[in-house]
Chains A and B, each alone.
Chain A
């Protein structure tokens, strides 16, 4: 593999700024790789390198963009047949900001349809393969972005996280993924799944790249009234020690269900934290175990409303055979949505329907309040919470497709954070049976700098060397 492919994004940007590498050379190198890949990670690849100003802070280092982000006149369909061929008239704020900062889009990455899934097997355009082992899933829903970064098809990428869709694929592919505080990054131009949970964030080779990309994504946006930005600039992390930092280990998210190989890496990480000067203690999150239940009411409920817009009238696909307006709607949606999207629309519609609303939706919103309270109480005692990101390493393609509930349960370590709106990162902690294990660090709202600093110190100490992109 070329030496170019082994550079992190920050290193490549540095070379460009020093005049040792042209942005066009860098773009063409990755364009070639992305256009000839065999993982099914990309759904669309740009033809030409865009102009990048020489002094752009991100140096022209090309970016993978999850197909969920609208990009003007570029196919953007959230990996769904119902939006096949759709070319949006505008560009998502996060994509626009990154392009302006010097990270032009290389291509659109594959994903679970409408971000609903944990394995990327729900894409209408076929599953993505895990670059560590082509018989395994890359995780989801941002599976294309994670696989592309891990395989060195693109230096860095963005995805979205609703219940773990950045962190879990990052973990399963052995890279870094961060879900920011809700509101840190504008949702304008993101094809909506569950609006109260959806948040965009970086998927990168290391923590420094993660901080660099995040710095240029965040900010208040007049086009998203729920966006608030971050109170301070994202710093490039430099911490080598964890002195004075208290790490909480919640038994609710680290007990039963974590497979032995993952547990081993997790326990090694806790030892490393102590060696670096951090303190590790147990902290209770009594309601976190109910996160999956609350999530699988709230997210499908919001999705059922958000996806009502796909009716075959204004954009996207329309069924060819229909008798009247009602059957046009029903058949368009029957043909356009895949099985998992239909399942969630049904689940959400049921939970919101007359007679069930209070028992499901109302109750789940209260559980959400209790989960957020649990985190608030925990963060009075500890600075960060540490858990495995995923209870297992990457599973086999097809292994969980027959059992939707088993697939949902694979999110139980990552679901509580978006319910509380708090930020969390996944970094590679080591290997189990030759496959990467992710370690998750979560902090209070707007504590991205603290999380990145701690993740950086841990990353240096772990010295994770594996990874297809390293050649």
Chain B
């Protein structure tokens, strides 16, 4: 069971503002999903299994360390909601 405080804690970590109604719903829904997920605790043959992070066996994939042009600054800034003075404008973190 995920309670209201846990939902708020996780929402804070995920940088998500939730309404009160969303907090309530999230608590119920996540609890039911996690109940299902916890069926993997029934498996008793996992102790010797290595975790899989990547399915295809790959050696290091390296490229030559050669300089190449980067994307034009103005094109990158063109997608920003608030660009100013060749950069991304944000409110002060401490404001």
Q: Give A residues with C-beta under 8 Å from B.
A: 86-87, 89-90, 181-183, 196, 222, 225-226, 228, 287, 290, 292-294, 296-297, 304, 308, 311-318, 322-331, 333-334, 337, 342-343, 345-347, 349-350, 353, 360, 362-370, 372-373, 404-405, 408, 419-421, 445
Please provide the 3 A-B residue pairs with the shortest distance between their CB atoms, ordered closest to farther: A421-B55, A365-B51, A318-B81
Interface string of B38-61 (1 = CB under 8 A from A): 111101011001111111101001
B43 to chain A, nearest CB (A): 7
5 pairs, A vs B, C-beta closer than 8 Å: A290-B39, A315-B81, A331-B17, A346-B11, A372-B55
Q: Look across to chain A and name the residue whose beta carbon is closest to the beta carbon of B46.
A: A366
Tell me the count of chain B residues lying within 8 A, CB to CB, of chain A.
53
Inter-chain contact B49/A370, CB cutoff 8 Å: yes
> Are A89 and B75 touching (Cβ within 8 A)?
yes
B14 touches A349 (CB 8 A): yes
In contact, B30 and A347 (Cβ under 8 angstroms) = yes
Residues in chain A near residue B79, CB distance under 8 A: 86-87, 89, 314-316
In the docked arrangement, what's the CA distance between A367 and B82, Å? 44
Inter-chain contact A228/B56, CB cutoff 8 Å: yes
Residues on B with beta carbons closer than 8 Å to the beta carbon of A86: 79
Cβ 8 A contact of B37, one of A181, A293, A373, A404: A293
Query: Are A353 and B16 neighbours in the complex by a CB distance under 8 Å?
Result: no
- When C-beta atoms are compared, the residue in chain B nearest to A361 turns out to be B51
Report whether B80 and A314 are in contact in the complex, using a CB–CB cutoff of 8 Å.
yes
Distance, CA A328 to CA B81, complexed state (A): 12
Instruction: Tell me, yes or no, whether B3 is within 8 Å of chain A by CB.
Output: no
Given contacts A329-B15, A368-B51, A372-B55, 17 further A-B contacts (CB under 8 A): A226-B54, A228-B56, A290-B39, A290-B43, A296-B37, A315-B81, A317-B81, A324-B92, A331-B17, A334-B17, A342-B22, A345-B14, A366-B46, A366-B49, A369-B51, A372-B52, A420-B55
User: A334, B16: Cβ atoms under 8 Å?
Assistant: yes
On whether A322 and B30 interact (CB within 8 A), knowing A182-B55, A196-B54, A346-B14, the answer reads: no
Q: Which residues of A contact B26 (CB under 8 A)?
A: 342-343, 346
Residues of chain B within 8 A of A353, CB atoms compared: 9-10, 13
CB < 8 Å neighbour of B93 from A292, A325, A346: A325
CA distance A182 to B54 in the complex (A): 9
CA distance A308 to B15 in the complex (A): 8
Which chain A positions have C-beta within 8 A of B34?
Answer: 347, 350
Partner of A322, one of B50, B53, B63, B91: B91
CB pair A405–B92 under 8 Å, yes or no, is no
- On chain B, the residues within 8 Å of A322 by CB distance are 91
Taken together as a complex, chains A and B put the C-alpha atoms of A443 and B22 apart, in Å, by 42
Contacts of B13 in A (CB 8 A): 349, 353
Contact for B50 among A87, A314, A366, A404, CB less than 8 A: A366
Q: Which residues of B contact A323 (CB under 8 A)?
A: 91, 95
List of A residues within 8 angstroms of B14 by Cβ? 304, 333, 345-346, 349
Complex contact A333–B71 (CB within 8 A): no
Nearest chain-A residue to B11 (Cβ)? A346
Q: List, in ascending order, chain B residues with CB within 8 A of A372's CB.
A: 52, 55
B53: chain A residues within 8 A (beta carbon): 196, 365
B36–A315 CB distance below 8 A: no
B29 interface residue, CB < 8 Å from A? yes
Known: A297-B37, A350-B10, A370-B43. A345 touches B16 (CB 8 A): yes
Q: Of A181, A292, A313, which one neighbours B88 at CB under 8 angstroms?
A: A313
CB closest residue in chain A, given B12: A330
Chain A residues whose C-beta falls within 8 Å of the C-beta of B16 in the assembled complex = 330, 333-334, 337, 342, 345-346
Give the shortest distance, in Å, between B81 (CB) and chain A (any CB).
4
Which residues in B have their C-beta under 8 angstroms from that of A369? Answer: 49-52
Tell whether, in the assembled complex, residue A326 and residue B15 are in contact, meaning their CB atoms are under 8 Å apart: yes
Which residues of the partner chain A approach B40 to less than 8 Å between Cβ atoms? 290, 293-294, 363-364, 367
B30 and A445 contact, CB distance less than 8 A: no
Tell me which of A222, A293, A328 has the highest count of chain B C-beta atoms within 10 A of its own C-beta: A293
